[in-house]
Amino acid sequence: MRIPVTAPLTAGAMSCLLFGGLVAGAVNGASPADRVREATSAVDTAMIIANEETTEHWLSYNLGYTEQRYSRLRQITTDNVGELGLAWSYDIGSERGLEATPIVVDGVMYVSGPWSTVHAIDARTGERLWYFDPEVDPKYGAWACCDVVNRGVAVYRGKVFVGALHGYLIALDAATGEEVWRRDTNIDRERYRHTITGAPRVFNDTVVIGHGGAELTARGYVTAYDTETGVKRWRWYSVPRGPQGPFEDPSMEMAAATWDPDGVWHEVGGGGTIWDSMVYDPELDLLYVGVGNGTPWNRDVRSPAGGDNLFLSSIVALNASTGEYVWHYQQVPGETWDYTATQHIILADLEIGGEERKVLMQAPKNGFFFLIDRTDGSFISAEPFVEVNWAEGYDSEGRPIEVEGARAQDGGREVIPTAYGAHNWHPMSYNPETGLVYIPAQGVPLALESDPDYQPSTHQPGHAMSNLGWNLGHLLNTVPPEAKPFGHLLAWDPVNQREVWRQEYLSPWNGGTVTTAGNLVFQGTADGRFLAYDATTGEPLWQQEVGSGVIAGPVSYAIDGTQYVSVAVGWGGVYGLAQRHTDRASPGRVYTFTLGGDADPPPVRRVEEFRGTELVSGYAYAEDDVNPGAMLYVSNCLMCHGAPALNNGGNIPNLAYSDLSILEQLPTLVLEGAWTDRGMPHFEGRLTEGELRQIAAYVQYMADTMRE
């Protein structure tokens, strides 16, 4: 659907062409669209490699194939960063989480938003060029464990590629936003709840994409498509189909020997989704993929006889041309705590022990910083970068030395780090000049206990999100966690495996980082600030309040000889769904800064402007409904709405701060799907009116208790 330039933007709009900001840049009579098409058509593997030496553009999710997020631009430095000002801002127009790293090609920015929308922006002025909406059915919001987010797009040979939440990979014309082709990446929509939130990667006329879904039902894989035609080139699975096969390739036969054939894993897919990190190594023609957690999480029910359960929690190297397995390194054999290896992977050449090594670096959820030889997957070292209580360390073969009792069967145990991770998807960065990696480190308390009553995909009150199809095999918070939440920016020396400096923050769930040749590190925070630090010392040098909490990673690029820094701002994600750490709650927006920038800041919206600030009162309930209501709340509402009355919610409201009419009408509102257009699951057939009244009773009880 094409929309006239004077028409208001609608949710179903396929593209909106303006191009006003590029008219001045058109040369030799070429139209603005032709200029964009010419510039983006030049983006190929060779250009992405060359750009890492100049970093004039930001051509890939983490800048280039090394994924270092290191800008060689040095116009903005420690001496003048205090002169940064706002150049422009752009309204994404959504209240859900904004996790995207923008792509910038020759003055045009491409950034994705919630529900997998794509915005093309004139990076000189902040004016919209076009907009694309894949029109994802809101019902797929129930398939997304961790918000309806999208981390970014890829640009290659005149096309923009976006992975949509409902599992489609879509190619767009980079100049117009018109859809060129669309491919369904899901192998079985009736059986598996696969979603896409990650950014595609492109190389050698190939675009690759993974997916999420391991909290529900999923079998992990990564798929490669021809960038021009969308024809599938290859697919590699990360877990076997079942104990007896048939096996797609020898790696699956090898993996099957590490799973208990009598476990429930093959009923629900086994997990192992490749939902974030994928890194192409042009020198070795290898694609490194980070593999996620198992389905169910708990190995005691997934594979009760034990086993390493390959390739969960592993980094796997594939032949980038064919998709064939080359090597793997498993960080957590028999993974059971949601310790994914999907976090950001960085490639570098480092001198270690007097020898130059080709390494990959990763700081995954499990709390250890890893150095792995990327030529053959051999283990170099792993050291904790936060507090860790599940393992003493790693032996010389690269296998963890687990602490006795870490796999508690009953009674509950507070395992540190938790499933939220010591470092989650928020991208880190590496500065070759300082030799440091800048990690958004964190801790979110949580306790786990093996669930003796677990049944696959079965609603069991008291079992977290079970009525939404979650398959954890664990009970949550069965003992009160003793750890305190934290978040900090950590500067880590990867060669000597030690902390160099840190900056403490108010809370967990802070944004990704970018580092520059101007000896700077930029990062946004959960409490709504965007900051610059001295990359060597960690000294804070500049900060700017922005309209909401920041979780995305910033970028830096140059246009007409001027360096810019941009960041997408919008609170959300799995932690941000239910938690908030600032009173600013503006819709998602891209902020762009430059030296001497003097644009007026956009209006800021406060939480109290649109959400209740008083605990609900007056709902009449029977005391006998409170306990069953609590169990139903855990199995239906907890992960999105949070614990009632303990805070005022994240980007989804806390029900204890609702208007009384909401609780009184809860059965009607929930069963009739009043909020499905916002991504709330439809509960018709899942809950009864009586059960919803019990949930309301629990919410009112919690509000009354906290008020006292």
- Give a three-class secondary structure readout of 94-109: CCCCCCCCCEEECCEE
Tokens for 313, please give them. Answer: 């929690």
CB 254 within 8 A of CB 332: no
Distance CA 564, CA 594 (A): 5
Contacts of 341 (CB under 8 A, 6+ apart): 290, 291, 292, 313, 314, 315, 331, 332, 362, 364
Cβ atoms of residues 72 and 563 within 8 Å? no
For the packed helices 626-636 and 689-707, what is the interaxial angle rounded to 10 degrees? 100
Q: Cα-flanking dihedrals φ and ψ of residue 25, to 5°?
A: -90, -10
Choose among 16, 40, 11: nearest CA to 127. 16
Beta pairing partners, 195: 212
461 closest CA partner among 295, 633, 298: 633
Helix (H, G, I), strand (E, B) or coil at 331: coil
* Beta carbons within 10 angstroms of residue 396's beta carbon: 7
DSSP state of 373: E
Of 271, 278, 342, the C-alpha closest to 309 is 271
Integer angstrom CA distances of residue 539 from 113, 170, 300, 326: 32, 43, 46, 43
CA distance 395 to 380: 10
Q: What is 478-491 written as a DSSP string?
A: SS---SPPEEEEEE
The secondary structure of 642-708, three-state, reads: CCCCCCCCCCCCCHHHCCHHHHHCHHHHHHCCCCHHHCCCCCECCECHHHHHHHHHHHHHHHHHHHC
What are the structure tokens assigned to 211, written together?
């997916």
Tell me whether residue 195 is exposed, middle or buried, using C-beta atoms within 10 angstroms of its C-beta: 0 to 12, 13 to 18, 19 or more.
buried
- Selecting among 106, 276, 281, 338, the annotated active-site residue is 338
Question: What is the total residue count of the chain?
Answer: 708
State CA 343 to chain mean position distance.
9
User: Is 704 labeled as catalytic in the residue annotation?
Assistant: no
Please list the active-site residues.
338
